[in-house]
Amino acid sequence: MIRRNKAITAAILATVVTSLVGQAFPVYAETNLEERVASTAYTKEINPWIGGKTEELIQAETKLGVDDKKFTHKEYTGTTYTDLNGNTVNGASVFGINREEVTTSTIGYQDVESARLGALNYEKERSNYYQLLSGEGSDWDLTVVQNAEEAQKFLDGGFMNEDYTMNAEDGWKNVQLPASWTSYGFDFSIYTNTEMPWQSQYDSGVSVPQAPVNYNPVGLYRKTFTVNDAMYEQDGRIYIAFEGVESAYYVYVNGKEVGYSEDSYRPHRFDITDYLNGEGEENTLAVKVHKFCDGTWMEDQDMFYDGGIFRDVYIESAPNVNIFDYSVVTDLDENFVNADLNLSLRIKNLAEAKAAGYTVDVNLFDANGNDKFASDPMTINVSDIDAEGEVTVDASKFVEAPELWSAEKPNLYTLVMTIKDANGNALESISQQLGFREISYTRSEIDSNNNNITSEYEAITINGQPLLLKGTNRHDTDPVYGKYVPREVYEQDIETMKSYNLNAIRTSHYANDEYLYYLADKYGMYVMGETNAECHALMGNQNAVAQYLKPLTMDRT
């Protein structure tokens, strides 16, 4: 019997039936399997992945200088080309440039109480180190053209530069983000299930892993912003984060190439500290977005395709010594009464000098705001960190009789971690909602031929009690805004599910906006969280996936 106190992974059985009324469906390109099958047969032998980074992922996170040229603008195409270093590469292996490592989603706060309330109520705006560039009242300029050839004039004309003058004849509109560009009258939505969304009247016989050429809309975004003064107080680094962009995008700040990324549904960050104008001065953000890319081959998932920036964009700051990433596990005892709170923290030192004497204070607040560690504080000592280095520190704390989380009783605590320097000065606090719960199940064992050799199974349980999953598939989409889903829609979805006694969601077939996970924690929903790596059109052509798309897929896991 396996007991899991981390992620819940279980099959969810029910599905949502979506009614489409009056929807005009365009013509789709045929799937040419013969053209896509590689001559080499790929083994199905299982080789366990032990967590090491692939060469392609290391390249995506390699830091480049402000004035370095970074883009060929062929990265999204899936074609073979010569990169800026003179190397022959295939675009399918280039899914990021100069982007930050993907970590647990966190926001730093200026004090413990702000961090507690920020996590409790999903109020990131309580942080002095968070500045939203989208949302109500945001002011962006956008135009969309049919393909890269039509977009070239905007690159040649310097659309990314501060002094660029927009021409109304080019179709520029003032828009509020997030929203798919189809919601502003650009382009059109496309629905597919088992075929790729390429439009056959423009592109035929598109082969894996290439993106279409003639119909592949390009959106060009511009926005000006001034960094809040508080972000400079930390004397650290400033980042820009994109929560969701369909499907590949190039980022510029003040005319400089910053970075590139793919994966429509995965948040990515870029360090823009050295690209910004002086404190208090205005900056210009420009983004070039391609509706399709080589990564779209892993995004053929019975859904609509729209295009554009459909989740929030924000800037955040962090001190030079910070909690870069962490994991937390609640380990219940055999009687499911008491628990150990196990933490593993990655502490980074971005400064050019050694960091010594740092500590992390840990608070655990109940629903009434009482700190369970008040009488016996939890402080983690951090070992010395070399300049531009990092350390991992592990710590555990006994928690007596915590209120347990389940769908029926979704009891939550708020975990706050505050990093302090050698003088005891708090640098920032990060936080999250936390439920104490433990899933138990029987794992299937296999032999050397991958045959199942497990004959008896015990029922899945949560906190020692039988668990019956009553769930639904759910796409993250909206009839008005495309792939952008307003908060009130998430809230109504959860309310409707709970009213029909559903207790589980499958995020078919990709990561949802993090607000959904917040609501699932709060109201009691089990979540089967899927990664954005599924292609219905290639289900019968695994050789193509193995030959072209494995590095890209590993980036999404």
Query: Which residue, 266, 249, 253, 256, is CA-closest to 227?
Result: 253
Q: What is the CATH number of the domain that holds 338?
A: 2.60.40.10
Structural domains of the chain, count: 3
Domain interval for residue 239? 80-105+128-318
226 and 145 in a common domain: yes
Q: Tell me how far apart the alpha carbons of residues 231 and 420 are, in angstroms, rounded to a whole number.
A: 18
Q: Would residue 209 count as lying in a domain?
A: yes
**Mean pLDDT of the 123-141 span:** 97
1 pLDDT band, cuts 50/70/90, is low
Tell me: pLDDT of 52 over 70.
yes
**Mean pLDDT of the 157-182 span:** 98
297 and 165 in a common domain: yes
* Residue 93 three-state SS: helix
172 and 312 in a common domain: yes
2 pLDDT band, cuts 50/70/90, is low
Q: What is the CATH number of the domain that holds 250?
A: 2.60.120.260
Tell me: pLDDT of 380 over 50.
yes
**Mean pLDDT of the 515-537 span:** 96
**Mean pLDDT of the 94-109 span:** 96
Condensed to tens digits (0 to 9), the pLDDT of residues 7-35 reads 332 332 232 222 222 323 233 333 333 33
Tell me: pLDDT of 525 over 60.
yes
Condensed to tens digits (0 to 9), the pLDDT of residues 438-470 reads 999 999 999 999 899 999 999 999 999 999 999
* Residue 371 three-state SS: strand
290 and 149 in a common domain: yes
Query: Which residue, 410, 405, 398, 411, is CA-closest to 372?
Result: 398
156 and 289 in a common domain: yes
Q: What is the pLDDT of residue 181?
A: 98
Which DSSP category does 513 fall into?
P
- The last residue of a domain, from among 276, 291, 318: 318
377 and 390 in a common domain: yes
Give me the chain's average pLDDT, please.
91
226 and 189 in a common domain: yes
Q: Are 264 and 299 in contact (CB under 8 A)?
A: yes
Q: What is the pLDDT of residue 57?
A: 92
Tell me: pLDDT of 41 over 80.
no
Q: 293 burial class (0-12, 13-18, 19+ CB within 10 angstroms)?
A: buried
Q: Would residue 241 count as lying in a domain?
A: yes
Q: What is the pLDDT of residue 16?
A: 29
